Structure 1
């Protein structure tokens, strides 16, 4: 049975589509595509139907990741039912997800991305790079690569 993982940020145009692309890339490198279903969504539906932020795409492409997904809103009823893990990029995302969860089972599916980091002791959040410069986008990618490796290690056990 496939492990179904949903990555969440506020608008689903920077951090969560990057997490989705990196996870898909790492899973493909390991030849494990048949073991995972990976998607991303935003707490807000403000950018629904839009591609990832062009700056985020440019930084990701330089590392070999293609951000191909289109933004979509998180739908609590369907997404809590359809996914095994729902991983927020920051504390606010996690708080919003917990507020939308209606059962202990749903709350048990919620995680924070930086909890899977191994190399970085960046426990707070994957910071939103939207209003920052190039260094912010690079930091997001560094944190997500680290967290995805940690997540895959944890899922192996």
Structure 2
């Protein structure tokens, strides 16, 4: 059976997308289905390539027993578009940038926005918490937990 491959994308791959990766990994592990998935994250830019997730994001995630272990990397086109089944951006700018990076219209159909999968929150995007305070990191995690649950339900109902 092929694994479902998901790539989460934000601007620099140090706050939102590595958190989405960790939240999704935690969710599928809790359900005992991690062998059915390949989860990764990347940034539109390579500013933070090779770096771990933001320390503040890591602290807030650890308070929820979510461990951010990924190392930042930049989106690779066309390789990531060919490899992953879902390419999920955190905000409208990420989505616009992903469409610009997509090698063709067929592969661009893999792009969606994280908040499209939310079932409890009504946000249009996952806001970047980098320049904000603690509440911003907590909001990101709230949105990601909601959206990852919705994404998993979406995948399971369509496969």
TM-score range, shorter chain: over 0.9
Map of 2:110 onto structure 1:
109
Map of 2:52 onto structure 1:
51
Distance 2:101 2:146 in 1: 28
The answer to whether the aligner puts 1:152 opposite 2:149 as a matched pair is no
Uncovered stretches (5+) of structure 1, i.e. residues with no partner:
none
Please say which of residues 100-109 and 13-22 is displaced more in the overlay: 100-109
Uncovered stretches (5+) of structure 2, i.e. residues with no partner:
none
Distance 1:76 1:105 in 2: 14
What TM-score do you get using the length of structure 2 for normalisation? Answer: 0.97
Map of 2:128 onto structure 1:
128
Map of 1:2 onto structure 2:
3
The answer to whether the 8 Å contact 2:26/2:66 transfers is: yes
Map of 1:18 onto structure 2:
19
Distance 2:67 2:149 in 1: 18
The answer to whether the 8 Å contact 2:81/2:103 transfers is: no
CA deviation after TM superposition for structure 1 residue 48, in Å? 0.3
Give a deviation string over 1:56-95, Cα, whole Å, max 9, x none.
0000000010000000000011100110000000000000
Distance 1:14 1:145 in 2: 14
Number of equivalent positions:
156
What TM-score do you get using the length of structure 1 for normalisation? Answer: 0.98
CA deviation after TM superposition for structure 1 residue 102, in Å? 2.4
Over aligned residue pairs, what C-alpha RMSD do you find? 0.5
Map of 1:78 onto structure 2:
79
